[in-house]
Chain A
Amino acid sequence: MNVVVCAKQIPDPASPYHLDPETHFLERPADQILDDTDRYGVEMALQIAGPTEGTVTLVSMGPAGNLQGIRQALAMGADKAVVVDDPVLRGADALTTARVLAAAIRREGFDVVIAGTESTDGYTGVVPQQLAGLLGVPALTYANHLEVDGGVVRVHRQTAYGHDIVEAAPPVVVTVTAGVVEPRYPTFKGIMAAKSKPIEQLTTADLGVTPEVNQEILDVRPAPTRAAGEIIEDDGEAFRRIIEVLEQAKVI
């Protein structure tokens, strides 16, 4: 079973994010990390491709930078990567992203495409569904459990009330939550091996995709801030202050 994982390099969320004041696009340093959300997809892909000797291919769109994030996923065990980096894609909306990914994925071929439910930097949360629509396959979304049984992919689709059990035969797109599997940490051997794994870099022209500008940011402004609150150090009596505040709020 050949699996494509949509993997995204993002600025480290541990550091504050900034928008470029002119373009309003997110500033992306050369050092980007693998979106933590994608580690679950990579792990799941390795687990379902492994037993069938299938290939795990990473497909990524965005500024390649030094490819550190992609190498993180290769170090986990993915076989190869395709990275679409093109200046015309700066600020691309979700549909444009899906079109680019769909073109790259068609070129690779796939049985299963795995993506996170949304990225940690942009979180539009619709790219995988757009991708499934463009590829003409079903989408098994928000999986917090996944199994392959007799060639059918079955997932527990997380819902507000619990989960639905949904399944489809490949080709299929699956989105996974962090609950789906415990991702492995790269081993030293894996990190060394990742250095020589193939990473193909493509432009939109290579894929025959002409990006469109579908939406435009008109304005970015600071949100109204909450007035600074009262901060106290617990000296063993802080609970009394909490009680007072709850009384003032008339909830007790």
Chain B
Amino acid sequence: MRTWVFIEESLGRPEAIGFELLAKARTLDTDPAVVYLGGGSDEIIAELGAHGAATVYRIVPPEGQLPTGRAAATLASMAGTYEPELLLFGLTPTDRDVAGFLSAQLGLPVISNAVDVVVEGEDVHVINEIFGGTEIVESTFRAAPPHIVIVRPKSFTAEPAPEAKTPTVVDVPLEEAAAAALTGRHVEEHEGPKLEDAAVVVAAGRGLGSADQLQLVERLAELLGGAVGATRAIVDAGWIPYALQVGQTGKTVKPDVYIAAGLSGAMQHLVGMKDSKLIIAINKDEEAPIFGIADLGVVGDVHKVLPQLIEALESRQA
């Protein structure tokens, strides 16, 4: 099946989910293509080739403009020329924008939040998990190709192809479309391992009580060489940056150990962490849904348990 993967360049690097999608695309198409929104240096093109891209359609974003609408218009025009059958996007802000605009322009549906894609003859079946991952829904398109699918992060494992390719690079000029101006960019500083790559994640929820109590999870994460994660509630409350949000609208993580401190486990949070290898939960409320998926659940006060845990780990390291 003629499969394209859309990949956005962000801060000079391809979005990590792009390589996950390429790993899947290789199983559906011997010569998958990448639609790359970014400068796409020679090194990056070679890297995409190493992950199996046979062709790279490079769209250089316009200076000073949010490129989403125009990238979608460009993709729509390319779809008419090259007739791809399956377009894979990642669940990232820009990918969602481009997929949505493209869907409107082509008049074709998009299925979002996919965790797998199965090709049955000419049909594309999309697998979704709903209700916090407790039920699996399999659906299919009843519309002409290209089929547009948005995939959740960590649904597939990124790895180089058995044989690297040297991609054919096609530079595609941007089509016109209504566009917003991009006038500034704010990049937050970040220390320690990246949340989505960390072997240990210590996540905080509203049960911590206040922003100054975050030092408990920060210290624990530091002692375990891990990263701090957060629920949407405390991100929205302004305690912690969005970049650390785990869940439906944040990051998806699958660490070796996930420690949930003072968070109840709303469905939107569970979908972002339920596939962690080992889940330890500390919460005062024994009815909290997080205990339903925890390997070890401690019914107790995070303000007591975390300091004891931190002290014990500190004395081991001393």
Residues in chain A within 8 A of chain B (CB atoms): 13, 16-17, 19, 24, 93-95, 98, 117-118, 120, 123-134, 136-142, 144, 154, 156-168, 172, 177-179, 212-223, 225-226, 229-234, 236, 238-243, 245-246, 249, 251-252
Determine whether the beta carbon of B72 is less than 8 Å from that of A133.
yes
Instruction: Write out the residue numbers on chain A whose beta carbons fall within 8 Å of the beta carbon of B113.
Output: 123-125
Q: Tell whether B169 is near chain A: CB-to-CB under 8 Å.
A: no
Residues in chain B within 8 A of chain A (CB atoms): 10-11, 66, 68-69, 72, 91-93, 96-97, 99-105, 107-113, 125, 129, 131, 133-143, 150, 178-188, 199-200, 224-225, 232, 235-236, 238, 241-243, 248-249, 256-257, 267-268, 274, 277-280, 282, 286, 291, 293-301, 304-305, 308-309, 312-313, 316
Q: In the bound complex, what is the Cα–Cα distance between A45 and B316 (angstroms)?
A: 55
Q: In the bound complex, what is the Cα–Cα distance between A113 and B267 (angstroms)?
A: 28
Task: Given the known inter-chain contacts A129-B99, A132-B101, A139-B97, please indicate yes or no for A245 contacting B249, CB distance below 8 A.
Answer: no
Instruction: Write out the residue numbers on chain B whose beta carbons fall within 8 Å of the beta carbon of A139.
Output: 68-69, 97, 100-101, 180
Contact of A160 among B93, B181, B299 (CB under 8 A): B93
Contact of A230 among B111, B180, B187, B296 (CB under 8 A): B296
Determine whether the beta carbon of A251 is less than 8 Å from that of B143.
no
Determine whether the beta carbon of B93 is less than 8 Å from that of A218.
no
Determine whether the beta carbon of A217 is less than 8 Å from that of B243.
no
Q: In the bound complex, what is the Cα–Cα distance between A166 and B93 (angstroms)?
A: 14
Task: Given the known inter-chain contacts A126-B110, A133-B103, A167-B180, please indicate yes or no for A158 contacting B93, CB distance below 8 A.
Answer: yes
Task: Given the known inter-chain contacts A178-B232, A238-B298, please indicate yes or no for A243 contacting B309, CB distance below 8 A.
Answer: yes
Determine whether the beta carbon of A130 is less than 8 Å from that of B103.
yes
Determine whether the beta carbon of B232 is less than 8 Å from that of A162.
no
Instruction: Write out the residue numbers on chain B whose beta carbons fall within 8 Å of the beta carbon of A251.
Output: 199-200, 224-225, 256-257
Instruction: Write out the residue numbers on chain B whose beta carbons fall within 8 Å of the beta carbon of A219.
Output: 137-138
Determine whether the beta carbon of B11 is less than 8 Å from that of A168.
no
Instruction: Write out the residue numbers on chain B whose beta carbons fall within 8 Å of the beta carbon of A157.
Output: 66, 93
Task: Given the known inter-chain contacts A133-B103, A162-B185, A222-B134, please indicate yes or no for A229 contacting B256, CB distance below 8 A.
Answer: no
B196: nearest chain-A partner, CB-CB: A160
B316: nearest chain-A partner, CB-CB: A252
Instruction: Write out the residue numbers on chain B whose beta carbons fall within 8 Å of the beta carbon of A178.
Output: 232, 236
Determine whether the beta carbon of B110 is less than 8 Å from that of A218.
no
Q: In the bound complex, what is the Cα–Cα distance between A215 and B99 (angstroms)?
A: 16
Instruction: Write out the residue numbers on chain A whose beta carbons fall within 8 Å of the beta carbon of B282.
Output: 234, 238
Instruction: Write out the residue numbers on chain B whose beta carbons fall within 8 Å of the beta carbon of A168.
Output: 178-181
Determine whether the beta carbon of B66 is less than 8 Å from that of A166.
yes
Determine whether the beta carbon of A127 is less than 8 Å from that of B180.
no
Contact of B300 among A95, A98, A118, A238 (CB under 8 A): A238
Q: Nearest Cβ distance between residue A174 and chain B, in whole angstroms?
A: 10
Among the interface residues A141, A233, A240, which one has the most CB atoms of the partner chain B within 10 A?
A141
The secondary-structure label for the interface of chain A is mixed
Q: In the bound complex, what is the Cα–Cα distance between A163 and B316 (angstroms)?
A: 40
Q: Nearest Cβ distance between residue A158 and chain B, in whole angstroms?
A: 5
Contact of A232 among B125, B179, B274, B297 (CB under 8 A): B297
Q: In the bound complex, what is the Cα–Cα distance between A117 and B103 (angstroms)?
A: 17
Contact of B142 among A125, A140, A154, A214 (CB under 8 A): A214
Determine whether the beta carbon of A222 is less than 8 Å from that of B150.
no
Contact of B188 among A120, A162, A233, A242 (CB under 8 A): A162
Contact of B180 among A134, A138, A179, A234 (CB under 8 A): A138
Determine whether the beta carbon of B129 is less than 8 Å from that of A223.
yes
**A-B interface, 9 closest residue pairs, ranked by CB to CB distance from nearest:** A129-B100, A234-B300, A133-B104, A165-B184, A214-B109, A126-B100, A178-B236, A239-B308, A168-B180
Q: In the bound complex, what is the Cα–Cα distance between A249 and B100 (angstroms)?
A: 42
B241: nearest chain-A partner, CB-CB: A162
Q: In the bound complex, what is the Cα–Cα distance between A95 and B142 (angstroms)?
A: 13
Determine whether the beta carbon of B243 is less than 8 Å from that of A234.
no
Q: Nearest Cβ distance between residue A106 and chain B, in whole angstroms?
A: 14
Task: Given the known inter-chain contacts A138-B179, A234-B304, please indicate yes or no for A129 contacting B297, CB distance below 8 A.
Answer: no
Determine whether the beta carbon of A165 is less than 8 Å from that of B186.
yes
Instruction: Write out the residue numbers on chain B whose beta carbons fall within 8 Å of the beta carbon of A124.
Output: 110, 112-113
Q: In the bound complex, what is the Cα–Cα distance between A220 and B141 (angstroms)?
A: 16
Q: In the bound complex, what is the Cα–Cα distance between A161 and B104 (angstroms)?
A: 28
Instruction: Write out the residue numbers on chain B whose beta carbons fall within 8 Å of the beta carbon of A217.
Output: 137-139
Instruction: Write out the residue numbers on chain A whose beta carbons fall within 8 Å of the beta carbon of B125.
Output: 218
Determine whether the beta carbon of A239 is less than 8 Å from that of B257.
no
Q: Nearest Cβ distance between residue A187 and chain B, in whole angstroms?
A: 23
Determine whether the beta carbon of A160 is less than 8 Å from that of B100.
no
B182: nearest chain-A partner, CB-CB: A166
